[in-house]
Structure 1
Amino acid sequence: MTSGVLSDRQIRDMIAQGGIGAASPILNDQIQPASLDLRLGDVAHRVRASFLPGKSSTVSERLGDLTMHEVPLTGGAVLEKGCVYVVPLMERLHLPKGMTGAASAKSSIGRVDLMTRIITDQGIEFDRIPEAYDGPLYAELCPQSFSVVVQPGQLLTQVIFRQGKTMLSDAELLDVHRTTPIVSGTPVISEGLSFSVDLKPAKGDLVGYRAKRHTGVVDLSKLNHYDPADYWEEVRTSDGRIILDPGAFYILVSREAIAIPPNCAAEMAPYLAMVGEFRVHYAGFFDPGFGYDAAGGSGSRGVLEVRCHEAPFVLEHGQVVGRLVYERMAEVPQQLYGADIKSNYQGQGLKLSKHFKSG
């Protein structure tokens, strides 16, 4: 197989050949241009603390030590803010030699500040599936800002599959940009494409949202349902700067409009800690076609999920806050992100998750 991130067609082949199995048949809607959405099982284990099983243990063995009680998800169940849950997923993997996986929360899940990480048997890292892994998958869920209602079969996380070397060097990425522009303006490329925060919008002074501390639950099955004012405070500025409060969660937007060409995928990575004590973007994958227009479009902004850590921090307009690491596809997908699959966030600007009313 050609090195690169597997396409939708190749993921279907893996399902047909038994490399991806499931407790019930995998649905076509789960298959994205370069990733597979994973489904929650029917029970959540409320655990005392987050954990990694380590090389000598399975997740099931650790759950036997750490589970406080089980929460049936059938019919919907509330996962409380600040608590940690582990949910067996419906899918399991039997990866061939040379293939690894990487997981990430889906965009809407990151935007409601639901920390979602994948754990594997004998796992020593979150969200990383080792070469030739053969076993079940589990999701660790920890609601950070809002308690949430979940139920079996919901799609909270996604996985990509990598065959061999996939990362583009800076020189290769610059070549891609010359052929198919990946960003508005001049690219700043250093171990990926650097991006900055937009705190001087073209219209008005609304630059973001901050999660309120005491709210109702968010039922993840309800779309375009909740009034943003009940869950979010508007963040406004007229001078291109804001002060991040420690522990607070923000939705901001990138200054740059970004595009992912059909032959690439990308992962948003946190920037170096030396630029500030905050983390950007908990949901990290960008499918081929994000912001891309074969006729020459303007790209899509990257929505930033930001949490400040120990001390208040002044964030300035245009400050570099992260980078996009581009990867080569093993082949161009049959369908691209955007119109092909009716994607929610194509052409986006500053936007909350699809659970909240817009406009």
Structure 2
Amino acid sequence: MANPNLELFPDTEAKSTGVMAAQQIKNAIDQGYVLPDRPIEPVQLQPSSLDLRLGTRAYRVRAGFLPGPKSTVLACLEQQGDDVVELDLSSPQIFERDHVYIVPLMERMRLPKKVSGKANPKSSTGRLDIFTRLITDYGMEFDRVPEAYIGPLYAEISPRSFSVRVHHGATLNQLRFVVGSPSPSDRSIRDLHKSQGLVYANDGIVIDANVDKGLTLSIDLELGNDSGPVGYIARSTSAVIDISKTNHYETEKFWKSIERPMDGRIIIEPNHFYILASKELVRIPPDYAAEMIAFDPVIGEFRAHYAGFFDPGFGDGNIQGVRAVLEVRAHYVPFSLQHGQIVARMIYERMMQVPDRLYGRELGSSYYNQGLTLSKHFVRGL
């Protein structure tokens, strides 16, 4: 296959390595690096990623897996025998809470050398506590498409808090295309904050950045003057959420609000799911993309985020910065969080080009001006 840098990126201003922008992803699709079962729809193209669609089949399995270097995903499914139940997604199907499903996606890959991919759940997927990971044939790690990979893609899906109704064509995860091996560093993040500003206070004033193996973010649990809740905890319910419906479900049926604590502390319990927010307001400059590290045992035995991608232009509005919404689960034991405690890290990666569409109102982004916001499936303002 021809050199992707020459074919895809004729613009001399494009960087030789980095994350592909929307217009470059479109060019890659046109040149056959993505082979979809149905034509790619414009709504799938995000500023720095491509939404991936569920195919017409799904397999309920006893346990998730990685195929390893000598096997395909379908061969692994065959080995599970009677433990596999096939579902037809050409009509809506319910994915039950605490079950695992493997779904072939509509998009296949035919990547050239120097081009790889990495995936993450979409924001709405994470805020519904739907554990979603990408798998490839012969794959040895989740959410990674190796350089020059040719073959199908699969999603491993496991709803954790709520059973959900899904159908073919639904998008639960997204894929970034990376050219070369750009290596973000703490020094580059510090320099970027100094020149452009990455974190802000509530009044939109830039604040000092704590950079240690990425830009660190802390939790907002302050009483202050804000009368709204500090977060939400998922209720135990047998109700089903149809992921195709937006602004539809009443918040109170699925979530219990967490009032702001007098002492700036809350305890998160194992086997419960929390929606919280960062203390800092975050900004992603137009020529950068960011990814939040989902789990870091150094800062606590909990997972702080499912949906790790932050698009170029996030928080880049009239008032600089937007809170990062955190999807939190304690792993083993109850864990006490206090206001200002570090809970996550963000890595900034250079875009190859500034995207021709940026995150925000004009793109129709669901969370462009978010505070503490639940997924788009719930009625806003409740």
State whether residues 167 and 326 of structure 1, in contact with CA within 8 Å, keep that contact through their aligned partners in structure 2: no
The CA deviation at 1:167 is 3.4
Matches of residues 1-359 of structure 1 in structure 2 within 5 Å? 1=5, 2-66=16-80, 68-184=84-200, 185-200=207-222, 202-204=225-227, 206-236=229-259, 237-270=261-294, 272-293=296-317, 297-359=319-381
Distance in 2 of aligned mates of 1:172 and 1:310? 35
Distance in 2 of aligned mates of 1:271 and 1:297? 30
State whether residues 55 and 106 of structure 2, in contact with CA within 8 Å, keep that contact through their aligned partners in structure 1: yes
The CA deviation at 1:206 is 1.3
Q: Secondary structure at the match of 2:84?
A: strand
Provide TM-score, normalisation by structure 1.
0.97
Code of the residue aligned with 1:254 in structure 2: it is S
Gap regions ≥5 residues in structure 1: none
The CA deviation at 1:180 is 1.2
Q: Secondary structure at the match of 1:188?
A: coil
Q: Deviations over 1:38-89 (max 9, x none)?
A: 0000111011110000000001111112252111112211000010000100
Q: Deviations over 1:120-139 (max 9, x none)?
A: 00001110111111100001
Answer with 247-256 or 200-209: which moved more: 200-209
Provide TM-score, normalisation by structure 2.
0.91
Identical aligned residues as a percent: 50
Distance in 2 of aligned mates of 1:301 and 1:274? 23
Gap regions ≥5 residues in structure 2: 6-15, 201-206
Q: Deviations over 1:197-243 (max 9, x none)?
A: 10115411511011112230110011111111111111122221101
State whether residues 45 and 69 of structure 1, in contact with CA within 8 Å, keep that contact through their aligned partners in structure 2: yes
The CA deviation at 1:168 is 2.3
State whether residues 77 and 84 of structure 2, in contact with CA within 8 Å, keep that contact through their aligned partners in structure 1: no
State whether residues 115 and 141 of structure 1, in contact with CA within 8 Å, keep that contact through their aligned partners in structure 2: yes
Distance in 2 of aligned mates of 1:300 and 1:143? 27
Deviating beyond 3 angstroms after TM superposition, the runs of 4 or more aligned structure 1 residues are none
Code of the residue aligned with 1:288 in structure 2: it is P
The CA deviation at 1:340 is 3.2
Distance in 1 of aligned mates of 2:228 and 2:107? 45
Q: Deviations over 1:326-345 (max 9, x none)?
A: 00001111110113311111
Q: Secondary structure at the match of 1:206?
A: coil
Code of the residue aligned with 2:340 in structure 1: it is G
The CA deviation at 1:271 is 5.3
State whether residues 34 and 110 of structure 2, in contact with CA within 8 Å, keep that contact through their aligned partners in structure 1: yes
Distance in 2 of aligned mates of 1:213 and 1:95? 43
Answer with 303-312 or 177-186: which moved more: 177-186
Q: Secondary structure at the match of 2:246?
A: coil
